[in-house]
Amino acid sequence: MKNKRVVILYRYIPEYRLAVYERLYELCRVNSIDLDIIYGDPSKSDRLKNDSVDFEFGIFKRNQFWSFGKIELVWQPVLAQIRQADLVIVEQANKLVINYLLIARQILGRQRFAFWGHGRNFQATQFHSLSERMKRLMICRAHWWFAYTPSVARLVEAQGFPRERITTLYNAIDTSALLEFQRNISFAELDDVRNTTEVHTENICIYVGGMYSEKRISFLLEACIRVRRQIPDFQMIFIGSGTDAHLVKDFCQTHRWAIYLGSAFGRDKVKYFMLSKLLLMPGLVGLAVLDAFTLKVPIVTTNVDFHSPEFEYIENERNGIIVDPADDVDLYATTVVDLLTDTSRRAALVDGCRLAASKYTVENMVSHFFEGIARALAFPQSPI
């Protein structure tokens, strides 16, 4: 009997997603499902994140980008590669032209496709914008849905998509690799990092992630100044890149107790977490919360209304802190000061991180993903 063939089509592979593809590819292989992962190159704005990687068993097809004012469209030239697939899984994004062709193919009963995504743009400022209306219109056009988190599954179901055709992935990163790095990093190696970066205090906090407007970098920099006033040996480590990285670079030039390291991944990233007591992220929170859980460095964020779905993993005062109101920089700074000086309160959060880390793993995510693929292949194709 011929193996079923599944294609995952993604714009490009960011470093944090590679482990999911590697494990899912192997799990499908041993269960007689042929999985092709087709990916392209990042756009100009995505290249600023400096996180694009290749997948050994993937298929690379260079993307074509078209711009019309503020609108960007992406053409992925993969028609020949997906034509015979039993299921095509794509990112839910209006700018991906191939998605509209896949909708047409499913309407004609020629091919199943599934959406993988958020259900909506959590950073959109206008719920009734044309872009958001299009996303809602297309939600029910898929054969199957792979929802990042339970809240996304509820959102998709609320739009009329059948619950029995939704798989909740519990979106995650390769936390087992982070733990392995942490176990193998010696005190001597940490001392070398301290000497290289000149961070010798015990009151160190860290920021890791993209640097753009939704991350509220200016708010964070101001909060750091206020923390430093109350804790004279406070130091701050910044890791990441993006359109607002220049704000951090300029800040670190002026404030020598703050260190900008650019992008760092894997073992290098873990070393800096091990020096830190808190992860400061007052803006958009996404998968970085899993770094916090796994490495037991509690996150301090704010209750802004544009977080990514993974924000729901944070249980306030149990495995992280959500400062509310979101625009009170004094309250944010004071909260950080309290956590740095209150050992027992911080220890309770560390215990909460440990519990959360056991739940949100890439192994669990891949298991959910594979189960959903198997169910989607077996489920009769329904008319739209």
Does residue 134 carry a pLDDT above 80? no
Please state the rounded mean pLDDT for residues 242-246: 95
User: For the chain, what percent of residues have pLDDT higher than 90?
Assistant: 82
Where does residue 258 rank: exposed (0-12), middle (13-18), buried (19+ CB within 10 A)?
Answer: buried
Does residue 173 carry a pLDDT above 90? no
270-284 per-position pLDDT tens digit: 999 999 999 999 999
84-120 per-position pLDDT tens digit: 999 999 999 889 999 999 999 988 888 999 999 888 6
Does residue 48 carry a pLDDT above 70? yes
Tell me the CB-side half-sphere exposure of residue 331, using CA atoms within 13 A: 12
Is residue 185 very low, low, confident or very high in pLDDT (cuts 50, 70, 90)?
Answer: very high
292-346 per-position pLDDT tens digit: 999 999 999 999 999 989 999 999 999 999 999 999 999 999 999 999 999 999 9
User: Domains of the chain (ranges plus CATH)?
Assistant: 4-172+362-378 (3.40.50.2000), 175-359 (3.40.50.2000)
Name the phi and psi angles at 87, rounded to 5.
-155, 130
Where does residue 102 rank: exposed (0-12), middle (13-18), buried (19+ CB within 10 A)?
Answer: buried
Reduced to 3 states (helix: H, G, I; strand: E, B; else coil), residue 39 is strand
**27-31, 47-51, 185-189, 318-322: least confident range:** 47-51
Angle formed by the axes of helices 329-341 and 217-230, to 10°?
Answer: 50
Residue 179, H or E segment: helix 175-184
DSSP string, 117-164: E-SS-TT-S-TTSHHHHHHHHHHTTSSEEEESSHHHHHHHHHTT--GG
pLDDT of residue 384: 52
Does residue 265 carry a pLDDT above 90? no
Does residue 133 carry a pLDDT above 80? no
Please state the rounded mean pLDDT for residues 47-71: 91
Tell me the CB-side half-sphere exposure of residue 297, using CA atoms within 13 A: 28
175-184 per-position pLDDT tens digit: 888 999 999 9
Please state the rounded mean pLDDT for residues 130-153: 87
Does residue 127 carry a pLDDT above 90? no
Spatial distance between the Cα atoms of 214 and 230, rounded to a whole number of angstroms = 27
Is residue 123 very low, low, confident or very high in pLDDT (cuts 50, 70, 90)?
Answer: very low
Q: CA angle, 84 as apex, 54 and 74 as ends, to 5°?
A: 50
pLDDT of residue 32: 96
Higher pLDDT, 123 or 192: 192
Q: What pTM does this model have?
A: 0.80
Average model confidence (pLDDT) across the chain: 93
Q: Specify the DSSP class assigned to residue 213.
A: G
Please state the rounded mean pLDDT for residues 141-156: 94
pLDDT of residue 118: 83
